[in-house]
Amino acid sequence: MAGEIQLNSVSLATESSSVITLGSAVSLNSAAYATTSEVQGTHTTGTITTGTTSLTVASGSGISNGDYVVGEGIAPGTTVSSGGGTTSITLSANAAATLSSDHVSFYTANKALSPGLVAGQLCRAWVNFDGNTSPYAIRSAYNVSSVTRTSTGNYEIYFTTNMVDADYCVISDQAYSSANLAGRFSTAYPFATNYCKVKVITDTGGSDDADYVAVAIFR
C-alpha cells in the first residue's frame, strides 16, 4: 500500500511496493530541521495551580503551539495546546504541582534534530559503582570499561572509547547506606583522555570509600 512520510507538513519520502524513496526535501529543506536556538529551547518562569492547565508565563516570546513543556509537576509529553506567543498558555494535560513564578522550558516538537547541534549536550560516559566493597563492582555504566580504587576514597574511571581531549566536564556524587554518614561529598580532579579521577571527601577533609559513587562526563 503506497504512502508518504511527512515531517512538519514537508514530504520526506514516499513508499510503494515496500520501497521507500527519499524526496528532495530531505537534503534541501532546512525548515524541517531544528535550529540551534530551537534545540536549546525557550526558558522563562510560569505560574499554575495543580490540577489545571492554565499556565501564565513571564514571556511568551519563542513559545509556539505544539511545543513540549518541561517544568516541576508537568508530565513528560505535555505540550502547548493554545496560547503560544502570549503569556497565557493552555497545556495539553493538568499540572501535578502548583508553580509560582518557577522555571519552565519549551522545546520544539516538529523538527528533526541534527546530530551536530545536539552532540555537545550529550553525556559521553557515566557510571554507578560500589566504591566500598572490593572488587568495586560497576552496577551500570555507559562508555566505562572499568573502575580502579587507588587508595581510600580515590578512584580512576576508565573509558571504553577515549575522549577527544581532556577538556571535558566531570560531574560526580556519592551516597552511603548508613544515614549517619550523610554530609560527605565527592569531587573530581585532573583528567586524561582515557580516564578521570574521582575523590570522595569527608566533611572533615579526609578521604573515605562510599557505597554508591556516580560519575557523568560531558564534552
Q: Over the chain (219 residues), what is each successive 10-residue block's mean pLDDT?
A: 62 68 56 83 95 97 95 93 97 95 92 79 90 87 93 92 90 70 64 91 81 90
What was the pLDDT predicted at 21?
A: 65
Indicate whether 148 belongs to any domain: yes
Q: Do residues 146 and 211 both lie within one domain?
A: yes
What was the pLDDT predicted at 140?
A: 92
CATH number of the domain to which 89 belongs: 2.40.30
The residues near 178 (Cβ < 8 Å, ≥ 6 apart) are none
Q: Which of 61, 81, 107 is the endpoint of a domain?
A: 107
Q: Do residues 97 and 126 both lie within one domain?
A: no
Q: For residues 93 and 114, give the distance between their C-alpha atoms in angstroms, rounded to a whole number.
A: 29
The parent domain of residue 167 ranges over: 122-218
Indicate whether 116 belongs to any domain: no
Q: Do residues 155 and 76 both lie within one domain?
A: no
What was the pLDDT predicted at 9?
A: 64
What was the pLDDT predicted at 28?
A: 44
Q: Do residues 150 and 207 both lie within one domain?
A: yes
Q: Do residues 44 and 27 both lie within one domain?
A: no
Indicate whether 210 belongs to any domain: yes
Sole residue written with cell 513528560: 76
How many domains are contained in the chain?
Answer: 3
Long-range pairs for 59-62: beta carbons < 8 A, 24 or more residues apart: 59/87, 60/84, 60/85, 60/86, 60/87, 60/88, 60/89, 61/85, 62/37, 62/106
